[in-house]
Amino acid sequence: MSSATQTTTADKSAFDLRQEEYLAARRAGAEAIEVGRETLETVSRQGEQLHHAEQMADETGYKLDKAGRILRGMTWSGWVANIFSTDVKRQQDGTAQQQQGNDTLVPSVYEDAPPVCRDAAQAVQNYNANLKVLTTCETDEQLETCHLICENMYRVALTEINKLLSTTTTSEAMDMDETSRVFVQKLQKDLTNLRSRQQIKKRYYERQKKEAQAYAQSRETLQLGDTTAEQNNNNKPRNDVTKELVVATDDPQAQKLLDLQNQHLAGISQHLDELGNLALNLGEATEKQAAMVEILDTKSDTILDKSRMVTRRADRMIQQKAWTPAKPTFQSTITIQHVPTQKYLAIANGYLVLRSHLDTSESCIFEVWKRQGSIFGLLSKFNRKWVGQNMLGSLECRASSFGRRQEFETEKEWKATPLLCASAGWGAGSYVVVSEKDHVVNIAPTGSVTGRVADLWCFREIH
């Protein structure tokens, strides 16, 4: 076999090997796209299931509200309350709410921004608006300029939010209410989500730019090599010049490899583009579903509170129809400690206060008396009075008997449990909370605090 034939065979072998490598890479890219599409489809089905779960939660909440209103109307006071209150209505479909505000995860405008947070909200709005402009850029110059603007907007927004988080000693921060603190946390979360989107788009743009530069450089290198070979061959004999020009510029095998490489890069670029779009869609879908899960978690807590309220009212109705009323029975002697502050609940002048230690006057000691179901009463061992709600809705320890206004309820686990005053809000119930400013112990307005965010209390038995 001649040397020319061996060279041709080796070139064919190298070409086939390169072609197999490119095909394997494109096949892997196609498989990755298929996996991404299946994942996106699965995430979409999960979103539909979450929408359905939200609808069921809304329907369950409506039926519990309706049942609670009917049970309340079976008493004279509840009948009067029903007359002066609106009937229960079904809430708007949670799915429709989610579809109306797909962008509510990071809203374009913060209409409910508290005054102290308006500068930070405006900065986040500006950053969000510039990110939307980023998707419409067509040229590299526009993209680079818009990325620089987005970086500046991000730094401004981050500075404003950090200013709200760090100035804990200023008068503005001291006057910041709970609504403002929650809003600052939302701004911080929104800014993080927007930053993540920008980073994804930036990496995608930089990868495309590098690929374009590498392709242009390879073409320039090839052309430069051809020109150099031609210049060097001008000083050689005619027969040698002709032979080397064929190898340098007109080699069909080299041109075939170059065409194969260009075709491979174009295919891989399409695959990467589609994978980038799939990643963006998956990221947005995951953000929306995370928000839906959080909403469902809140609604499940609300449904649990409503079901307990309906159970309490049904138990009261059963006790009222019974021939003999249920008598309270002594269960245990306890101390009650506020978990966040580690202070003890105590009695002072008929009101409930917090004390840093247990004293010898028994003002921090209570007796637990059980009645029906999970309802119990707290009898102070200090003044032999019952803890409960007075006519004005405040919490005190002055009742001489265990009535409906002295009913409480907790979780089964007493190590860290919310404490619910069952009579608050016309029997709907509300949690016992401690004011952050002056540490006053009182009952939260009905519906303003859920079981998840209510203050926790630790009940310890004394033997």
- For 161-181, the pLDDT digits (tens) are 888 887 644 444 445 677 788
What is the structure's pLDDT at 418?
92
Residues 6+ apart with CB under 8 A from 407: 312, 371, 375, 376, 377, 388, 421, 422, 423
Whether 4 shows a pLDDT value over 60: the answer reads no
Domain boundaries, the chain: 14-312, 329-461
The rounded distance, in Å, linking the Cα atoms of 365 and 336 is 8
Is residue 47 within 8 A of residue 292, CB to CB? The reply is yes
Over range 413-436, report the average pLDDT: 86
Whether 248 shows a pLDDT value over 70: the answer reads no
pLDDT-derived band at 134 (thresholds 50, 70, 90) equals confident
In percent, the amount of the chain with pLDDT more than 90 equals 16
Which CATH number is correct for 329-461, 3.40.30.10, 3.40.50.170, 3.40.1280.10, 2.80.10.50? Answer: 2.80.10.50
pLDDT per residue over 62-113, tens digit each? 888 888 888 888 878 778 878 888 888 876 554 444 444 444 457 778 877 8
Helix (H, G, I), strand (E, B) or coil at 271: helix
- List, in sequence order, every beta strand (DSSP E) within 274-375: 329-338, 343-348, 351-355, 365-370
The rounded distance, in Å, linking the Cα atoms of 134 and 145 is 9
Q: Provide the mean pLDDT of the chain.
A: 78
Segment of 77-86, 128-137, 144-153, 303-312 carrying the highest mean pLDDT: 144-153
To 10 degrees, what angle do helices 140-166 and 118-134 make? Answer: 160
pLDDT-derived band at 243 (thresholds 50, 70, 90) equals very low
The rounded distance, in Å, linking the Cα atoms of 440 and 433 is 8
Whether 458 shows a pLDDT value over 80: the answer reads yes
Nearest to 420 by CA among 368, 377, 390, 461: 377
What is the structure's pLDDT at 84?
83
Give the least confident one: 110-114, 118-122, 154-158, 394-398. Answer: 110-114
Whether 337 shows a pLDDT value over 90: the answer reads yes
What is the structure's pLDDT at 176?
64
Structure tokens at 411: 């979780």
pLDDT-derived band at 333 (thresholds 50, 70, 90) equals very high
Over range 304-333, report the average pLDDT: 80
Task: Measure Cα distances from 341 to 42, 330, 356, 436, 439 in Å.
Answer: 45, 29, 9, 10, 10
The rounded distance, in Å, linking the Cα atoms of 293 and 52 is 12
What is the structure's pLDDT at 226?
52
Is residue 405 within 8 A of residue 425, CB to CB? The reply is no
What is the structure's pLDDT at 244?
38
Nearest to 94 by CA among 59, 43, 63, 64: 59
What is the structure's pLDDT at 263?
75
